[in-house]
Amino acid sequence: MFYVDDNGNIVPVLHPDKTELSDLVDYERERTIIIDNTKALLQGKPAANILLTGDAGTGKSSTVKAVANALWNEGLRIVEVRKDQLRSIPKILDELSSNPLKFVLFIDDLSFLKDDDNFNALKAVLEGSVTAKSNNVVIYATSNRRHIIKEKFSDREGDDVHRNDTMQELISLSERFGIHVTFSKPNKETFLHIVHHLVKENGVEIPTEEIDGLAERFALERGGRSARLAKQFVDGLLSKI
């Protein structure tokens, strides 16, 4: 795993996230799409840029990192790019184009204000400029927002032509990604399934009925269910044992 420093240099992450695919529970269909696309990249086949959207804590970022950890020995590397560095992507692509390894440029928690210059910079790359067509690099971005742009109700005001133009601009970036994967908030059954897996994995010996009640109360007190909350709940149990 690498990141881009403030000088635009690609440098290694000293303490990379060690999340493995085996650590992730459910969302198999979503992960399979990402794994298959990444394997296509490694095999020299056409691979798409991917936008991962959905509720916070559903495992979007963890999935990208886990895929990188699973496939690093096949020649995959991940380079994290901050939102304020998006205008450096053409330079990064030029630098990586002659490298025999394959790369995922990872942009986490992507969102923009309307008329943000970084929005136009990323859109230009995704539209398929010459430098963006390197066959050893794809872009994976995560966002909690479906259309990435922070839209205001005032943006929808005006005549029909103006309103339609505005709405098309707001969704234009997300449409530039070849694959869009949505991580939905887990329902009660899925949430408890994740909890049960983590409880078993960590050797917590508490009756299932008691676990379920505690987990549901934990989720309700925090306003909803997510894979992240499931892990936080189990970590809390472990801290008391």
Determine the Cα–Cα distance for residues 32 and 27; give it in Å rounded to an integer.
9
Mean pLDDT across the stretch 173-184? 84
Six token digits for residue 39: 């394997």
Determine the Cα–Cα distance for residues 137 and 104; give it in Å rounded to an integer.
6
Answer yes or no: are the C-beta atoms of 225 and 191 closer than 8 Å. Answer: yes
- Indicate whether 175 pLDDT > 90: no
> 211 or 153, which is more confident?
211
Answer yes or no: are the C-beta atoms of 57 and 228 closer than 8 Å. Answer: yes
Quick one: pLDDT at residue 240? 80
- Of 62-76, 118-132, 174-188, least confident by mean pLDDT is 118-132
Quick one: pLDDT at residue 153? 46
pLDDT in tens, 84-142: 898 888 889 889 988 999 999 999 988 766 666 777 778 777 875 444 457 899 999 99
**CATH homologous superfamily of 2-183:** P-loop containing nucleotide triphosphate hydrolases (3.40.50.300)
- Indicate whether 177 pLDDT > 80: yes
Q: Model pTM?
A: 0.81
Mean pLDDT of the chain: 84
CA atoms within 13 Å, Cβ hemisphere of 27: 32
Answer yes or no: are the C-beta atoms of 163 and 128 closer than 8 Å. Answer: no
Confidence bin at 164 (pLDDT 50/70/90): low
Quick one: pLDDT at residue 132? 47
In three-state secondary structure terms, 179 is strand
Q: Looking at residue 148, what DSSP letter applies?
A: S
pLDDT in tens, 11-57: 999 998 888 888 788 888 999 999 999 999 999 999 999 999 887 88
Quick one: pLDDT at residue 131? 46
Strand-pair partners of 2:
12, 79
Task: Return the number of other C-beta atoms located less than 10 Å from residue 228's C-beta.
Answer: 16
Mean pLDDT across the stretch 215-240? 89
Q: Looking at residue 152, what DSSP letter applies?
A: -
Query: Torsion angle, CA of 69/53/200/189, rounded to 10 degrees?
Result: -160
143 φ/ψ angles, rounded to the nearest 5 degrees: -155, 145
In three-state secondary structure terms, 183 is strand
- Ordered by start, the domain boundaries in the chain are 2-183, 188-240
Determine the Cα–Cα distance for residues 131 and 171; give it in Å rounded to an integer.
23
Confidence bin at 144 (pLDDT 50/70/90): confident
